[in-house]
């Protein structure tokens, strides 16, 4: 396995409801793929924070990451200023399996699961639909970015303050009824992934999901971020989100444990 680790400069911080950093790290950007993540050190904390790669610009040598303030660690990270250095390891994990760009894809993101979908949908352009779910209108991020790369955006919120009042699977079903895509990619809360996977199975559409788990090393050494995955013979084993994932074929994932 190949990854890099070092101090890299935060080049730009965009305003918005999430922390939105563009980091100048040409060596990491050169080998990063959609669906992979970086592991960011937070001064004073034992565990790094795994954050999905939202966008890669190989020409500019940058990656973009978005994260929410969830606890003390991300609060410290959010205080980083433009021009300051952050300690980044990456790229880590396996990305999504991207098909030829003339195939049709649907990306489904829920809340903090939306950012990794931007790079994933990029190569598909007009052939990708982005189904994006947020808690409320004030939590919406990245919809303009998806539109700028020609993706069709279908929006929903839990409280109905923007877009469809409901859940992403309502929109996914609507999209399937227009015609089945070649593949679905999803990232978000596990309960959302469970219902996306179920719907894809019903319609016979290939589906990949990106999972989250409490993580330590990020590289497959400590075996902390275990997640139950079904083997070929149907038995269940624990694989690791950092090294075996974070992307798994949905039919392999054990959602009820």
Partner 1 sequence: MTNLKVNIAGVEFKNPVITASGCFGFGREYECVYPLERLGGISLKGMTFKERLGNPPPRIAETPSGMLNSVGLQNPGVEHFLEHDMPYLAQKDTVKIANIAGSCVEDYCAIAERLSESQIDMFELNISCPNVKQGGVAFGTSCENAAHIVKEVRKYAKKPMIVKLSPNVTDIASIAQAVEAEGADAVSLINTLLGMRIDINTRRPILKNNVGGLSGPAVFPVAVRMVWQVANRVKIPVIGMGGIEKWQDAIEMMMAGANAIQIGAAMFYNPKAPIGVIDGMQQWMEQNGVEDINEIVGAVRPW
Binding site for partner 1 (CB under 8 A): 1-5, 41, 45-48, 73, 89, 213-228, 237-238, 243, 257
**In the block, residue with structure tokens 């790369």:** 149
Report how far Cα 28 is from the mean position of its chain's Cα atoms: 17
Q: Which is closer to partner 1, CB of 34 or CB of 88?
A: 88
User: Could you give the CA distance from residue 170 to residue 19 in angstroms, rounded to a whole number?
Assistant: 28
Torsion on CA atoms 43, 244, 64, 49, rounded to nearest 10: -20
**In the block, residue with structure tokens 């939202």:** 54
Residues in the chain: 257
Tell me the closest approach of the beta carbon of residue 235 to partner 1, in angstroms: 10
Q: Which is closer to partner 1, CB of 49 or CB of 122?
A: 49
Please name the helix (run of DSSP H) or strand (run of DSSP E) that holds residue 210, with its range, or none: strand 206-210
Asked if 32 contacts 112 with a C-beta cutoff of 8 angstroms, the reply is no
Tell me the closest approach of the beta carbon of residue 237 to partner 1, in angstroms: 6
Q: Which is closer to partner 1, CB of 13 or CB of 69?
A: 69
Q: Which is closer to partner 1, CB of 158 or CB of 213?
A: 213
Tell me the closest approach of the beta carbon of residue 214 to partner 1, in angstroms: 4
Q: Which is closer to partner 1, CB of 45 or CB of 203?
A: 45
What's the chain's Rg over C-alpha atoms? Answer: 17
Tell me the closest approach of the beta carbon of residue 5 to partner 1, in angstroms: 6
Tell me the closest approach of the beta carbon of residue 180 to partner 1, in angstroms: 33
Find all residues with CB under 8 Å of 235, minimum gap 6, and list them: none
Report how far Cα 180 is from the mean position of its chain's Cα atoms: 22
Q: Which is closer to partner 1, CB of 201 or CB of 238?
A: 238
Tell me the closest approach of the beta carbon of residue 121 to partner 1, in angstroms: 29
């Amino acid at each position: 396995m190949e990854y890099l680790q070092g101090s890299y400069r935060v080049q730009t911080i965009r305003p918005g409801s999430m922390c939105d950093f563009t980091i100048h790290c040409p060596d990491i950007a050169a080998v990063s793929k959609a669906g992979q993540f970086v592991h960011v050190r937070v001064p004073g904390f034992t565990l790094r924070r795994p954050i999905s790669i939202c966008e890669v610009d190989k020409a500019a040598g940058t990656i973009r990451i978005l994260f929410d303030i969830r606890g003390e660690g991300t609060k410290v990270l959010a205080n980083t200023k433009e021009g300051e250095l952050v300690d980044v390891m990456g790229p880590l994990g396996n990305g999504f399996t991207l098909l030829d760009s003339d195939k049709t894809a649907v990306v489904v993101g829920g809340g903090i699961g939306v950012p990794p979908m931007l790079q994933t949908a990029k190569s598909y352009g007009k052939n990708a639909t982005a189904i994006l779910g947020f808690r409320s209108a004030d939590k919406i991020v990245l919809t303009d970015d998806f539109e700028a790369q020609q993706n069709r955006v279908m929006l929903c919120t839990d409280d109905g303050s923007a877009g469809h009042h409901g859940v992403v699977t309502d929109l996914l079903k609507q999209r399937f009824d227009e015609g089945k895509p070649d593949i679905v990619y999803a990232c978000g809360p596990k309960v959302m992934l469970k219902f996306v996977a179920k719907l894809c199975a019903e319609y016979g559409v290939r589906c990949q999901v990106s999972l989250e788990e409490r993580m330590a090393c990020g590289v497959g050494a400590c075996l902390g971020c275990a997640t139950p995955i079904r083997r070929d013979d149907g038995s269940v084993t624990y694989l690791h989100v950092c090294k075996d994932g974070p992307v798994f074929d949905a039919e392999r994932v054990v959602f009820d444990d």
